[in-house]
Chains A and B, each alone.
Chain A
Amino acid sequence: MRRRDLLRLGGLGLAAGSSLLLLGCRQESATPTPVAPAAVPTSSAGTVSDPTPVSTPTASERMPTVTPTAREAARSVTIYSGRSQSLIGPLLDRIGQELGLDVRVRYGDTAELATAILEEGDRSPADLFFGQDAGALGALAKENRLVTLPAELLERVPAIYRSRDGVWVGVSGRVRTVVYNTERVQLNEIPASIVDFAGNERWRGRLGWAPTNGSFQAFVTGLRRLRGEDVARRWLEGVKALDTRIFPNNASIVQAVIQGEIEAGFVNHYYLMRERAQAGRSLPAENFFYTNGDPGGLVNVAGVGVLASSRAQDAALQIVDYLLSESAQRYFSEQTFEYPLLEGIPAHPDLPPLETLNPPDLDLSDLDDLRGTLALLQEVGLL
């Protein structure tokens, strides 16, 4: 009796295993270009020494390519995307279709994927890295993992939104704002400089921030650069002393402001826009933009870099080219509520235009002193 049950249990395992294999095959065949299932390494002589685990299709399996001159092996591109599938999945799908590329995307946390690329070393399967912020791109650049991009691509965006060495380029802009509850805060109560929040008793117990968030940390790095280490430390200590609430991310700050749990918070501009789009009603919250060159109005970018270890750099560049095209930039404007960086593409109508933002005078390449920021945040006891 019991032995039969064991047999069944084993059978269940076998069934699960075999259907998993079938599943692998079926999934692969659903992608536009048929390739060997990733679970089975290719055994063709050409790929034995190939260190990239992403198996390349054999010639007979390949679909006719759109541009016959392009290198055959380059038709499949692997993107490590720190931007989530909800956000840019549809765009990347469209790119694959329009460019005739087999775009394979690994979604994850920006910093974790960048660290994974560092750990993978020269064997990284990634061809293109798409990061949420300039910091992760800078970390890859620092370890010489990115190639220099063609000037033609770089020059499509203003100089402050790309790497000084030309190894990464911003594709969409995100602005630091103060989100506030319109029922509890008068517009004129918000200090003219973000620095003046520190020690301001009006805000005791009423502010929210997310010290673990990459955008917040980029802002702290910017503040250190713009106003010096002491101002940054005093600001962190001064705001912390106000019993400012710590949140895990920007999204939960915005929710807490909407619910009135706190009255204001330091966030990126687009979270409120998304909450509005989902709520389908007017919410008692607004974004305050610092348009006076204050560090509080820092503009960061989500950007891309092509991996030095990539074997499909041409195709990866094609994707960068597409991301900096009008159609992709419109996607960022309309779907993710970010700022398009290409000239002539308007931002979402609910947002102040990019030209009027007047961000602080800061080169995003200078935001790479992450260790200093970590040390500072630890020193004031925020991490």
Chain B
Amino acid sequence: MSVSAGGALRGLRGRTWPTRTRPSGEFVLAMLVTSLALCPLAYLAWRAGEGGERSLAALWHPRTGELLLRSVGLAITVAVTSALCGLPLAWITERVALPGRRVFAVLFALPLAVPSYLTAFALVAVLGPRGALADLLDRAVGLERLPEMYGFAGAWGTLTLVTFPYAYLSIRAALRGLDPTLEDAARVLGESRRAAFSLVTLPLLRPAIVAGMLLSALYALGDFGAIAVLRYPTLTYSIYNQYRLSFDRSAAATLALLLVVLSAAAVVAERRWRRRAVFYRSVGTRRPASLQPPTWWAWLVLGGGLSLVGLALGAPVSVAAYWWWRARVLSEDMPAVGQAFLNSLLVGFAAAVLTVCLALPVARVVSQSQTSFARLLDVPLWVAYSLPGIVLALSIVSLTARFLPFLYQTIPLLLLGYALRFLPEATGTLKAVFAQQNPRLEEAARTLGLRRWSIWWRVRLPLAFPGLVAALTLVFLTTVKELPITLLLSPIGFSTLVTVVWNATAEAYWTHAALPTLLLVAIGVIPMVLLGLWQERVQSGQGG
């Protein structure tokens, strides 16, 4: 199946089904979701405009240009390294018969559940110039100082550790939905395994890789925690300072608009790069890919992956475990975390379900529509995603306190805030999966008399199942660690694990932060294990 032939077929389909051009229910829903994401952006424009000259002064400040370059550099490098980490890890957990591969599959996604500032704190405590490792080396070989970890290298490394699961999860979902017969065909035609991978698999995985990279890049743009701890000031750092130091909301909004432009450019670049191509199998039915026997290469990747997780997860967990032990020794009063644990779990699940529901129509419209307008519908979502959490939180505060006071600081608004923040995690993953669906199947369903909504229920969603699971997991993991929106928009007195951790670390009560930090990691395991195992069963059931 060639890309050009697919494109031609698709064009033909566009002509033979004129009804597709009329706005469908999905399209209307997608428009609604998009306009929701436009609200905070409109607020920012208004707020920046209100500042007048002060806003302009913030924009033209010489420091702004420097910070802008730093932001761009960090975003690009983090995106590249997280894809380089995610791709091989997705491959070995999905295609290589490694012992215990289900456990590893869960493990590799978990670093996402740890807030970046905690990872950064823990890395400094372990790898810092005077951290545990330096202490050990000092005693063992008399090495006085470790290489400097602050600055660009530290921020880059930490953000890669926190964001590589984005690429990993989205590539893994795409690998699962990939038709292995295409690779087999390449092998039958005499290509080596490596050539088959680079000629067939890699190009087919491109939407997923790019979606993962985009998530990592935009996360890096909007991150404050890691860059603050590792002392690498970016544009986001400056935005936080405008709020924290001078209470200058207009200047902050102006700088945030600069981020908006940056991320919009990144998304459009992604669209260009992706070009028009088809990623679905054209004929026959699907069978699961056969597992390769593990080679030395796979073991190497596994080792690398485990050391990444060891740093991203091991460092915070061991630091937290140390403080927990200290707290036991001192028999300190610890804040109760049972309720917070439950709250995190439930809010996380509810937000994940809501976000995925909102993402479905958008992902569908964007991946299947013929008009360029429709294909750009998700751009505002990505842009909102790149905003620093506090900017999005304060714009929601302003808009709802003004226009929807009855919703302000309620659970529904909190969930909506999470959804606005994390929608692209779901649309990105789902889009990649929808792109793998052969439209022939839908056409067949329509020929067989299924209605529009039954097609969703009986064809599209079941086919998108791996993507649904990946999207739910992603949104759950990131929601659980979200801080600024939780602090400002949750009902009063509503605590989650991350607010308990924040309350403790903000004032250096490390012992109080220990248990909730451990639980934060544990809570990430729950959906991963449940959904992971369930997914395995479904797949093996089909394969058999």
Chain A residues close to B by CB (< 8 Å): 1-3, 5-6, 9, 12-13, 16-17, 19-21, 23-24, 27, 31, 37-41, 51-54, 78, 83-87, 89, 104-109, 111-116, 118-121, 123-125, 136, 139, 212, 214, 217, 245-252, 254-256, 259-261, 271, 274-275, 278-280, 370-371, 373-374, 377-378, 381, 383
Q: Are A111 and B349 in contact (CB under 8 A)?
A: no
Residues on A with C-beta less than 8 A from B121 are 252
> Is B238 among interface residues, defined by CB-CB distance under 8 A?
yes
Contact A278 B353 (CB under 8 A): no
Q: Does B468 lie at the interface of the complex (its beta carbon under 8 Å from any beta carbon of A)?
A: yes
- Contact partner of A38 (CB less than 8 A), chosen from B129, B410, B507, is B410
Residues on the A chain within 8 Å of B504, using CB: 84, 86
A374-B492 Cα distance, complex, nearest whole Å: 32
Query: Could you list some 28 contacts between A and B, CB below 8 A?
Result: A1-B538, A1-B541, A2-B462, A3-B458, A5-B462, A5-B538, A12-B349, A13-B350, A13-B357, A31-B493, A38-B492, A39-B410, A53-B407, A53-B408, A53-B409, A85-B500, A108-B487, A109-B244, A111-B247, A120-B398, A120-B401, A246-B231, A247-B231, A256-B130, A259-B130, A274-B508, A274-B509, A377-B245
Asked whether any CB of chain A lies closer than 8 Å to the CB of B233, the reply is: yes
Chain B CB within 10 Å, residue with most, of A121, A251, A261, A383: A383
**A53:B405 contact, CB within 8 angstroms:** yes
Q: Which of B248, B353, B542 has the most CB of A within 10 A?
A: B353
Kindly list chain B residues whose C-beta atoms are within 8 Å of the C-beta of A53.
401, 405-410
Contact A383–B241 (Cβ < 8 Å): yes
The 8 Å CB contact of B249, one of A3, A12, A115, A280, is A115
Q: Give the chain A neighbours of B128 by CB distance below 8 A.
A: 259, 261
Across chains A and B, which 10 residue pairs bring their CB atoms closest together, nearest first?
Answer: A13-B353, A251-B508, A2-B462, A16-B349, A261-B130, A38-B491, A259-B130, A111-B244, A85-B503, A119-B398
Q: How far is the CB of B133 from the nearest CB of chain A, in Å? A: 12
* Docked-complex contact A6 and B461, CB < 8 angstroms: yes
Q: Which of A19, A89, A118, A378 contacts B247 (CB 8 A)?
A: A118
- B541-A119 in contact (CB<8A): no
Q: Could you tell me if A374 and B335 are in contact, using CB atoms closer than 8 angstroms?
A: no
A89 partner residues in chain B, CB cutoff 8 A: 335, 503
- Please, what's the 1-or-0 string for B106-140, where 1 marks a CB less than 8 Å from any CB in chain A? 00000000000000010010001111000000000
Asked whether any CB of chain A lies closer than 8 Å to the CB of B368, the reply is: no
Using a CB-CB cutoff of 8 Å, which residues 225-250 of chain B contact chain A? Answer: 228-229, 231, 233, 237-238, 240-249
Contact A105 B401 (CB under 8 A): no
Which residue on chain A has the smallest CB distance to residue B406?
A41
Given contacts A40-B410, A112-B244, 15 further A-B contacts (CB under 8 A): A13-B349, A19-B346, A38-B410, A53-B406, A85-B335, A115-B243, A119-B398, A125-B408, A217-B245, A245-B150, A249-B506, A278-B509, A371-B248, A378-B63, A383-B241
Given A31-B493, A111-B244, A371-B246, A20 and B346 contact (CB-CB distance below 8 Å): yes
Taken residue by residue from 500 to 542, chain B's Cβ proximity to chain A (1 for < 8 Å, 0 otherwise) reads as 1011111111111000000000000000000000100010011
**Chain A residue nearest to B395 in the complex (CB):** A119
Known contacts A86-B507, A119-B394; is A104 also within 8 Å of B468 by CB? no
Write the chain A residue with the least CB distance to B121: A252
The answer to whether A112 and B243 touch (CB under 8 A), given A6-B465, A16-B353, A86-B512, is yes
Which of B244, B409, B484, B508 touches A271 (beta carbons < 8 Å)?
Answer: B508
When A39-B410, A124-B401 are in contact, do A2 and B538 touch as well, CB less than 8 Å?
yes
Given A78-B492, A383-B245: A23 touches B342 (CB 8 Å cut-off)? yes
Report chain A residues within 8 Å CB of B46. none
Among A13, A19, A245, which residue has the most Cβ atoms of chain B within 10 A?
A: A13
- A114 close to B487 (CB less than 8 A): no
Closest CB in chain A relative to B134 CB, distance in Å = 9
* Residue pair A6, B244 in contact (C-beta under 8 Å): no
For residue B189, CB closer than 8 A to chain A, the reply is: no
CA separation between A339 and B502, bound complex, in Å? 24
Q: How far is the CB of A289 from chain B (nearest CB, A)?
A: 20
Q: Which residue of A lies closest to B124 (CB)?
A: A252
